[in-house]
A = this chain, B = another copy of it.
Amino acid sequence: MQKITLLINCPDRKGIVTTITHYILQLSGNIVYLDQHVDRQESVFFMRLECEFESSEFSIPEFENQFAAKFKEDYKLTYQLYDALYRPNLALFVSKYDHCLYDLLGRYASGELPVEIPLIISNHRDLEIVAQRFNIPFKYIPVTKETKKQAEAEQIKSIQEHNIDLIVLARYMQIISDDFVANFKHQIINIHHSFLPAFIGAKPYHAAFERGVKIIGATSHYVTADLDEGPIIEQEIVRVSHVHSVQDFILKGRDLEKIVLARAIKAHIEHKVLVYGNKTVIFA
């Protein structure tokens, strides 16, 4: 049995759900998941399908060719097709903060994240011990202003060697260059420790504390060329008050960062995130 996940968006038109589902059905596909949404403002149609194919003759590449041939041009349709049974490879980038790392590795080790984690990359050695606890290869690649280009080249080389599907910046404190990002469109998820678009850049908890907000948040997003400006995947908040110091903001924030990053990663690996413009459609 094979299973595919298909994400589609195209200009809205009459009968499109009918047409596409009928197409799957006549290929003897069994639709086990269908979610669709029409942005009526922009007249754009979005759909996510999970389809099972029993036949041993079914071939995902062939399906893709035929599907694209039939729909891509006529419907001006953009699609992403995934083997739903494939376990993606994640690379985690970390610096010195370990809370997100421990949270992700715990979820991974308990089977909650159906992924492989063949690689942890860091610009410091501090978290090597954490990688060792979980028997994950740790690569120390220091980064300075002068060595950034080479460091990133080395990172990219490792990523390619390990067939990495998703890069997770788990409180990685280095800014990723535009060149690096250009290699991985919608394949880098970052956790920013504020409720974007408030407090972009450095020390957001300190900035939030200064402003005297009553709520702090964390945001996970795809990394783009613009710092903290990429499509938002998930956000979460917690209330704060005058009794909380900056340190309290930071500690409370850490629990937000963990949950927001984890939810974003899960949505991504389940292929429930469709990026459109600078925004995301997150299927249920």
**Residues on A facing B (Cβ under 8 Å):** 14-15, 17-18, 21-22, 25, 30-32, 34, 36-41, 46, 98-99, 102-103, 105-107, 109-110, 112, 130, 133-134, 195-199, 211-215, 217, 231-237, 239, 241-243, 245-246, 251, 254-255, 259, 262, 277-282, 284
CB–CB B196/A211 < 8 A: yes
CA distance A46 to B233 in the complex (A): 28
Q: Contacts A22-B15, A99-B112, A106-B103 hold; do A211 and B195 have CB atoms under 8 A apart?
A: no
Chain B residues, Cβ within 8 Å of A255: 259, 262
CA distance A284 to B36 in the complex (A): 12
CA distance A243 to B38 in the complex (A): 8
Nearest CB of chain B from residue A278's CB, rounded to whole Å = 6
Select from chain B the residue with minimum beta-carbon distance to A15.
B25
Select from chain B the residue with minimum beta-carbon distance to A254.
B112
Q: Contacts A14-B25, A15-B21 hold; do A215 and B242 have CB atoms under 8 A apart?
A: no
The 3 A-B residue pairs with the shortest CB-CB distance, nearest first, are: A212-B279, A102-B106, A242-B281
Nearest CB of chain B from residue A79's CB, rounded to whole Å = 18
Chain B residues, Cβ within 8 Å of A239: 239
Chain B residues, Cβ within 8 Å of A39: 242, 245
CB–CB A237/B234 < 8 A: no
Chain B residues, Cβ within 8 Å of A241: 282
CA distance A56 to B215 in the complex (A): 43
Select from chain B the residue with minimum beta-carbon distance to A16.
B21
CA distance A102 to B102 in the complex (A): 8
With beta carbons under 8 angstroms apart, the residue of B22, B30, B105, B217 that contacts A215 is B217
CA distance A189 to B197 in the complex (A): 24
CB–CB A25/B18 < 8 A: yes
CB–CB B232/A212 < 8 A: yes
With beta carbons under 8 angstroms apart, the residue of B99, B107, B237, B284 that contacts A243 is B284
Q: Contacts A232-B213, A280-B242, A282-B241 hold; do A110 and B98 have CB atoms under 8 A apart?
A: yes
Nearest CB of chain B from residue A201's CB, rounded to whole Å = 13
Q: Contacts A102-B110, A284-B243 hold; do A197 and B214 have CB atoms under 8 A apart?
A: no
CA distance A281 to B214 in the complex (A): 10
